[in-house]
Amino acid sequence: MTIHRGRFRELLLAMILVLCTGAWSTEERTPVADPAMHSSAQKVHLAQATKSASPKSAQADLDALIAAARREGEVTFYVSQTGFGERIVEGFSKKYGIKAQFVRMPGAPLLQRYSSEAVAGNIAADLILQAGVPAAWAKEGVQKGWLEPISEAGIPAMTSGEFPSKFTNGITATVMISPWIFVYNTDKVKGADVPKDWSDLFNSKFKGQILLSDPRSSDSYFDLWTLLLDKYGETFFNNLRTQNLRYYSSAVPAVQALGAGEGAIMLATSAPSALTLKGKGAPIDLVTPNLTTGIESSVILSARAKSKHPNAGRLLAHYLMSPEGNKWINESSIGVYQTTGLPREYQSPHPDALARKDTVTRLLGL
């Protein structure tokens, strides 16, 4: 077959064009975007997607996150425990120069508030620090798109491998442990009468003088009561009820009433809430029994698309999970990097404790 010289030149040019554009390749190609088209926030988002990182890249991710968080300028978090919000604000704001504000509510009402906001499409909290997070609630929040699993948020303290893996379940991360304690009024209880263990509560001098937080105000209370039920049986509760217990809506008013002299002993609460009042001059002191469980508070992140300050929220999560921030917030509790301060017979909350909520409520006479 004879090809005209001009036609040959046209065919040759066409072949060169095909080779240059890759039109003969069957591989699907992904376009590469111009880096200049990405905003700083998008760069942080990409950095946060990293599952693991070298120290150098983890620091780069953190630097980018700090810059993006500072552009947002503020962060809002919800916290269920008394005495922690102010300390978190102080430490975080001082380190990063970002305004932080918080809302404190007991556990159950706090989660109800968050859920209501989520249903309405107006979540105010970028992060929650919640005691005794119900696993079912957290999973449902992820499924509904309200929450982002902590393991997928690209928190530098996690991607660097720094945060102890045993303290995360993938959805949340435990950052503080506050063992349940007794608090007593030092004007009313002295010397040998100061309770040291649970059986000491049966002292006849304490009849009508024991103040309790209503356990229905927060599911985390049931962790303690089911531990005592397993250890001592129903007899313990029967004996406790004979002391004519007096209930308060939550730990805060109960400790305040104790400080005001309305009772001799208050149980149960955590050290931070009691120390706050003691620091203001209230005549109270603390006792940590050997057998106890505790309030294990966890970080929960709002989903990126739902959060008003997603970068600041993730930076706050990093701060709470980092060695420096974790040490700072756990001045009166126990952090995840140093657990030697736990009581001798401390037990982590049992995952099935809430299933016996009705039994415990009945045994407490409620």
Structure-token match 């929220």, residue found:
313
Report residue 131 as tokens. Answer: 């005691």
Average pLDDT of span 277-281 = 92
Helix (H), strand (E) at residue 16:
helix 5-21
Average pLDDT over residues 159-186: 93
> Residue 257: what pLDDT?
96
- Considering the entire predicted model, what is its pTM? 0.70
Segment 296-301 mean pLDDT: 94
Give pLDDT, residue 52: 54
pLDDT tens profile 203-236 = 999 999 999 999 988 888 899 999 999 999 999 9
Tell me the Cα Rg of the chain.
28
Per-residue pLDDT of 68-127, as tens digits, reads 999 999 999 999 887 789 999 999 999 999 999 999 988 788 999 999 999 999 999 999
Residues of the chain with CATH 3.40.190.10: 44-177+295-329, 181-292+344-363
pLDDT, residue 178, reads 87
340 vs 11: CA distance, rounded Å? 80
Q: What is the SS3 assignment for 222?
A: helix
pLDDT in tens, 48-63: 434 556 667 778 999 9
181-292+344-363, CATH topology level: D-Maltodextrin-Binding Protein; domain 2 (3.40.190)
Please provide the average confidence, as pLDDT, over all residues in the chain. Answer: 85
| 125 CA to centre of own chain | 12
44-177+295-329 in CATH: which number?
3.40.190.10
